[in-house]
């Protein structure tokens, strides 16, 4: 593994081992991600830069064997968006190139008392635009729900996504139907 990535992974592992809550983990790892995003050119390989004409590309950079950590590079060509989704874990996102948009949603049904897949009401929350070097974070319980992507009139974007698990599945929300379902999330090994 590239030395920059090795040092980053060791820093993340130390923070996870020393830190008790997801909120504390993302607070400590946000500046570490900010530094990583600034030197992305020094460790990104061609496989990390793969895009996909059919949708945003998820390229796995590394994952811990005990499923406590994973880092992906996501490549967004203009006009590519996620569905509305959650994560089931904490996350730290850093932008290396382009401009990433995140639209948050809040559950306004009584989901906290009754976790369920129907009867879900979502209201739009805040929106952030993340230029190179910017970092955003989220924590679970309740799940952070958002829609992320790149507008069609903006440049191709590459972002780094660190999660507290491999994130090979997550809930996708249908706002009109008021439902969510768990989907398998595909990614490319690198
Ligand atoms: Fe997300």
What element of type H or E holds 171? strand 169-174
Torsion angles phi and psi, residue 132, rounded to 5: -55, 135
Tell whether the model's pLDDT for residue 190 goes beyond 90.
Answer: no
In a domain, 91, yes or no: yes
Bond before 142 cis per omega within 30 degrees: yes
In a domain, 125, yes or no: yes
The Å distance, Cα 177 to ligand 1 centre, comes to: 21
The Å distance, Cα 95 to ligand 1 centre, comes to: 13
Which of 64, 67, 29, 68 minimizes the C-alpha distance to 160?
A: 29
The Å distance, Cα 148 to ligand 1 centre, comes to: 6
The Å distance, Cα 91 to ligand 1 centre, comes to: 8
The answer to whether 44 and 37 are in contact (CB under 8 A) is no
> How many residues would you count in the chain?
190
The Å distance, Cα 74 to ligand 1 centre, comes to: 11
In a domain, 71, yes or no: yes
CA distance 140 to 88: 6
DSSP structure class, residue 49 = G
The Å distance, Cα 2 to ligand 1 centre, comes to: 26
Which residues are registered as beta bridge partners of 35?
none
In a domain, 48, yes or no: yes
In a domain, 176, yes or no: yes
Which of 183, 189, 187 minimizes the C-alpha distance to 87?
A: 183
Q: Which of 35-39, 109-113, 135-139 has the lowest mean pLDDT?
A: 109-113
The Å distance, Cα 188 to ligand 1 centre, comes to: 17
Instruction: Report the CATH number that the domain containing residue 114 is assigned in CATH.
Output: 2.60.120.10
Q: What is the mean pLDDT of residues 10-34?
A: 96
Confidence of residue 111 (pLDDT cuts 50, 70, 90): confident
In a domain, 190, yes or no: no
CA distance 113 to 157: 38
Tell whether the model's pLDDT for residue 172 goes beyond 90.
Answer: yes
Confidence of residue 113 (pLDDT cuts 50, 70, 90): low
The Å distance, Cα 155 to ligand 1 centre, comes to: 20
Q: Tally the domains of the chain.
A: 1
Which residues are registered as beta bridge partners of 158?
75, 97
In a domain, 189, yes or no: no
In a domain, 7, yes or no: yes
The Å distance, Cα 17 to ligand 1 centre, comes to: 24
The Å distance, Cα 18 to ligand 1 centre, comes to: 25
Range of the domain at 121: 3-184
Predicted pLDDT at 112: 64
């Amino acid at each position: 593994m590239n030395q920059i990535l090795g040092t980053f992974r060791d820093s993340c592992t130390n923070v996870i081992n020393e830190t008790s809550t997801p909120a504390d983990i993302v607070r400590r790892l946000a500046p570490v991600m900010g530094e990583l995003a600034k030197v992305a050119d020094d460790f990104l390989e061609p496989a990390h830069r793969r895009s996909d004409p059919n949708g945003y590309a998820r390229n796995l950079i590394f994952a811990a064997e005990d499923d406590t950590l994973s880092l992906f590079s996501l490549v967004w060509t203009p006009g590519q968006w996620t569905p509305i989704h959650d994560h089931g874990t904490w996350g730290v996102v850093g932008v290396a190139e382009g401009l990433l948009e995140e639209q948050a949603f809040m559950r306004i049904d009584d989901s906290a008392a009754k976790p369920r897949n129907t009867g879900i009401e979502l209201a739009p929350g805040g929106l952030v635009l993340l230029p190179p070097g910017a970092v955003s974070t989220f924590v679970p319980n309740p799940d952070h729900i958002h829609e992320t992507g790149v507008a069609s009139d903006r440049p191709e974007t590459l972002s780094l996504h660190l999660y507290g698990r491999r994130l090979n599945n997550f809930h996708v929300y249908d706002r009109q139907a008021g439902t969510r379902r768990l989907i398998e999330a595909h990614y490319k090994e690198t």
